[in-house]
Each structure stands twice: as structure tokens, then as C-alpha cells.
């Protein structure tokens, strides 16, 4: 997700992804403006909200570098609640980066991302989620 958010900020996410999802680009703001004052593209804002949801909902999130040595514990699982739009972006980003992996001749990475996107889509569909993107 971080790659997708940064790519949106950099303008490298292909045109049409945001439009297809109903996400409009935010104003780029003044080039000399402070980072806090620059309006991020809507897809970047949504991606950042997903990251924040994880931080807020997953217990034991380390607050320093040393904490990441032992976190997460092997086999640790967590449930995170996201909105439909957030899940749409998660699935879209997995598919997008699978395509990037494929172009970079990383067939294993592409297959893994697609498998996760497919499994996630099935689990969400079983709970009534209907993706806005295909």
C-alpha cells in the first residue's frame, strides 16, 4: 500500500485508476508549500487512511525501530475493519503491483499478489462486499 500511496503522490499511478474508482485527484498545491499544506491526491489520502486504520486497530504496534525486531510474532494474525472504498483500493493496489511485478519479470511476486487479491476478494464477497473495480 505504501508503494501505491507514494506513486499517487508522485503522479505515477496510471491515469484512470482513480477515476474508475470515483476518486478525484486533490489539488497539488503550491510547489513551495509545506508538506502539511499540500492536498494529496484522493487515492493517497485513502491509502494513508488504510495505514492509519492498521496502526489504530492492530495491538502491539511498535513505536520504535527496535520493536519491529520481534513484531509481529510468527503466525500472528489480526483483523482490521475497513470501509468498502478502502477494500477497493487494497484489491486494486494488489492487482496493480502484480502487473508491475510481471513487467519486471517477477512472476513469483506477481502470482503472490494476484493470489492474495483473489483470496481477499472472495472473503470480502462472502461478507457482501461488491467491488467497484475489476
Residues 112-123 pLDDT 10s: 999 999 999 999
Q: What is the reported pLDDT for 83?
A: 93
The Cα 28–Cα 40 span in angstroms is 7
The Cα 45–Cα 51 span in angstroms is 10
What are the distances in angstroms from CA 116 to CA 19, 105, 110, 122?
A: 24, 19, 10, 10
The Cα 94–Cα 112 span in angstroms is 9
Length of the chain equals: 134
pTM for the full predicted model: 0.70
Residue 23 near residue 46 (C-beta atoms within 8 A): yes
Using 50 as the pLDDT threshold, list the residues of the chain that sit under it. 15-37
Cell of 51: 495505514
Q: What is the reported pLDDT for 11?
A: 72
DSSP secondary structure code for residue 33 in this structure: S
The Cα 30–Cα 67 span in angstroms is 37
- Return the axis-axis angle of helices 42-57 and 2-10, rounded to nearest 10°: 150
Q: What is the reported pLDDT for 22?
A: 47
Q: What is the reported pLDDT for 96?
A: 92
Tell the residue number behind the cell numbers 472504498, with chain if given.
85
Amino acid at each position: 500500500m505504501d508503494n501505491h500511496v507514494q506513486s499517487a503522490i508522485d503522479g505515477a499511478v496510471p491515469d484512470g485508476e482513480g477515476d474508475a474508482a470515483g476518486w478525484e485527484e486533490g489539488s497539488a498545491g503550491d510547489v513551495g508549500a509545506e508538506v502539511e499544506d499540500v492536498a494529496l491526491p484522493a487515492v493517497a489520502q485513502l491509502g494513508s487512511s488504510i495505514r492509519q486504520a492498521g496502526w489504530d486497530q492492530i495491538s502491539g504496534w511498535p513505536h520504535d525501530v527496535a520493536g519491529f525486531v520481534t513484531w509481529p510474532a510468527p503466525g500472528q494474525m489480526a483483523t482490521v475493519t475497513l470501509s468498502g472504498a478502502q477494500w477497493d483500493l487494497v484489491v486494486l493496489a494488489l492487482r496493480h503491483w502484480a502487473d508491475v511485478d510481471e513487467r519486471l519479470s517477477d512472476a513469483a511476486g506477481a502470482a503472490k499478489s494476484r493470489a492474495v487479491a483473489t483470496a481477499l476478494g472472495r472473503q470480502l464477497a462472502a461478507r457482501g462486499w461488491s467491488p467497484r473495480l475489476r
